[in-house]
Structure 1
Amino acid sequence: MRLATYNVEWFDDLFSKRGELLIDDHWSGRRDVTRAQQAEALGMVFTAMDADAVMIIEAPDTGIRRDTRRALHSFAEAFDLRAREVLVGFVNDTQQEIALLYDPDVLTARHVPGHSADAPRFDGTAQIDLGIGDGEEAVIFSKPPLEVELTVAGGRSLRLLGAHLKSKAPHGAQGAAEVRRLAIANRRKQLAQAIWLRRRVDALLQDGESVVVLGDLNDGPGVDEYENVFGRSSVEVILGDGETALYDPHASEALRGKLTPQPTTARFYIEPEKRYLQALLDYIMVSQDLREVAQGWRIWHPFEDARCWQAPDLCSALLAASDHFPVTLDLAI
């Protein structure tokens, strides 16, 4: 079984209010990319991945006039994808939903929002102590994680937690002092969300579940200097330690140190500097019981993955489709 996580930038812009896929020459939300170019690029990427289930981050919006399921059904039909059924959990107000696109012929999927004493449902409010001496604070998810019970044909079930944690970027800040204040405030929110997510992981592991956390965590070890204020990254919090630790080889590589080679899953253009910034933001973490059946993680990076680099059309598609690249994992179950 192949699992994937993919943050698709401005996916919602590719659909009409009726959920029709817009393949035309109007500009998409992507820089210098038309809607036709982005849609066709995404069709090529999804086809090449050939995943049984894709956790889509920044999926098309659900609102008064828009519907995530309708849009993704339209997308899957347009490109004849076998992953064509859609599962959505708690919708949000950001126009960026979290949705699972999966193959109903080989999998069944249910939204099963759970809770425990210290980890309420993801659409609720949690009281979180960051451990820095300032007590508990009320925390919410602007994009509530999608908790999925995924069952394969043989009866084996997994619990997937699809997440898109709070961005640390100080958008709208003016001046160095405001940038620092907002960046620290955003990191506080993100770290609190990570603690909440980790509490849910612990509860599931205690219940004997096989757990996979996948999505855009908007963080990685050593990503910015404000991490030192709290002593750890959100990624480290979610991974945990000891017998209940989750595992992702790309996270492990990044944790080895700043001077070691770093895998990357996202590529952003920095306009003032006229250059691209690369970062590791997207992960697929598995519980210890799944490590023996995990046959390999892959970042579909057009320049760093040899198989992508050797397929020029796929390279171009990955660059046009999104500012993030997909991550896949094959499980022998």
Structure 2
Amino acid sequence: MRIATYNVEWFSTLFADDGTLVDDDSWSSRRDVTKQQQTAALGAVFQALDADAVMVVEAPDTSPKRDGCTALEHFADRFGLRARNCLIGFTNDTQQEIALLYDPDVINVTHDPKGPATGGKGEAPRFDGVFHIDLDVDDREDHIKFSKPPLEVALVTKDNQHLRLIGAHLKSKAPHGARNPAAVMRLSIANRRKQLAQCIWLRERVEQHLNAGEDLIVMGDFNDGPGLDEYEELFGRSSVEIVLGVGKEPETRMFDPHAHAALAQRIGAQMATSRFYVRREKRYLNALLDYIMVSPALADTKPNWHIWHPFDDPACWGDVELRDALLTASDHFPVTLDIVLPAPILNT
């Protein structure tokens, strides 16, 4: 089975309100890329992935006038994708949904959120609820919400193999409204605290599944990673380390080889899943932001992870059409996991 995560930069702008592709020479939200160019590039990338399931981060908007699944299913039909059915969980108001495109001939999926609708202090509620936690040392409870609630998926294969998926898109808000360096730092630290609280909330859900003996994959864009910014030293750990369970018992740790390599070597060559143009410096910045974390039993099957970075992967570089498509389609590159799921335990 091939499972992928792919952050598609402003996928929503490629569709009209009825879910059909705009597909013309008007500018997309990508720098110097038309909607027609981005659509064609995305079609080529999704075809090359040929995945059984793709967690689409920044999926098309769902709102009173738009339906993200209608848009994605139109896209899948246009390019003849096997992963042609769509699942969206709790919608949000950011125009960036978290959606799963999947092949219904291979798997069945349902949105299956866990946790109470509301949680007390120390409880992990449903991801569209409110998490109660003291973020600092003022002994006052803070109330945390997800701007993009993670998508919780119960997946069953045609061979009756069961798997849990959680798709996430975590962000620490920019310090909007700050008028001086001190205000920038104060707001940045506060926003980072909120992101770390969201990761603690997500980590509690991870531990619930692991304690229940379930196979689990957590995937998506964490906008964070080991050694990524100056605030990690202040808080002691990155968001990724929290969700992985770094420092906890081995049987409760999630695993991603790219995160593991970054943790082992903070200085030196690292993998990257995204490439951004820094206008003021007139150069590109590569960063490791996208992950596919697997539970211990899945890690034991020795799956294969692959970052489709056109400059780092010889196969992507050697295929000129695919290389150009990856660079045109998004500022992130797909990450895939090829895995043979453990056989289901049969009751006798």
What TM-score range do you get, normalising by the shorter chain? Answer: over 0.9
Query: What aligned pairs does 1:111-130 form with structure 2 within 5 A after superposition?
Result: 111-115=111-115, 118-130=123-135
Aligned counterparts of 1:238 and 1:304: Cα–Cα separation in 2: 26
**Aligned equivalent of 2:285, options 272, 277, 300:** 277
User: TM-score, length-normalised on structure 1?
Assistant: 0.97
**Aligned equivalent of 2:320, options 297, 300, 312:** 312
Residue 267 of structure 1 and its aligned partner are, at CA, apart by: 0.8
Specify the alignment match of 1:198 in structure 2.
Answer: 203
Aligned counterparts of 1:20 and 1:104: Cα–Cα separation in 2: 22
The answer (yes or no) to whether the contact 1:268–1:278 under 8 Å persists in 2 is yes
Aligned counterparts of 2:233 and 2:202: Cα–Cα separation in 1: 21
Q: How many percent identity over aligned positions?
A: 61
Specify the alignment match of 2:150 in structure 1.
Answer: 145
Deviation per residue, 1:52-83 (Å, 9 max, x gap): 00000000000011001110011001100010
Query: What aligned pairs does 1:1-333 form with structure 2 within 5 A after superposition?
Result: 1-115=1-115, 118-130=123-135, 132-135=136-139, 136-170=141-175, 173-240=178-245, 241-242=248-249, 243-333=251-341
In structure 2, relative to structure 1, the CA distance for the partners of 1:330 and 1:304 (3 Å cut) is same
Aligned counterparts of 1:44 and 1:174: Cα–Cα separation in 2: 44
Q: How many residues align?
A: 332
Aligned counterparts of 1:281 and 1:129: Cα–Cα separation in 2: 27
In structure 2, relative to structure 1, the CA distance for the partners of 1:192 and 1:104 (3 Å cut) is same
The answer (yes or no) to whether the contact 1:221–1:232 under 8 Å persists in 2 is yes
Deviation per residue, 1:13-57 (Å, 9 max, x gap): 000000001111000010000000000000000000111000000
Aligned counterparts of 2:29 and 2:57: Cα–Cα separation in 1: 15
What residue ranges of structure 2 are gaps of 5+ in the alignment? 342-348
In structure 2, relative to structure 1, the CA distance for the partners of 1:170 and 1:310 (3 Å cut) is farther
Counterpart of 1:166, as a letter, is K
Counterpart of 2:93, as a letter, is D
RMSD: 1.3
Aligned counterparts of 2:172 and 2:134: Cα–Cα separation in 1: 20
User: TM-score, length-normalised on structure 2?
Assistant: 0.93
Aligned counterparts of 1:263 and 1:170: Cα–Cα separation in 2: 28
Moved more, 154-163 or 132-141: 132-141
The answer (yes or no) to whether the contact 1:128–1:196 under 8 Å persists in 2 is no
Deviation per residue, 1:213-239 (Å, 9 max, x gap): 000011001111111221110000000
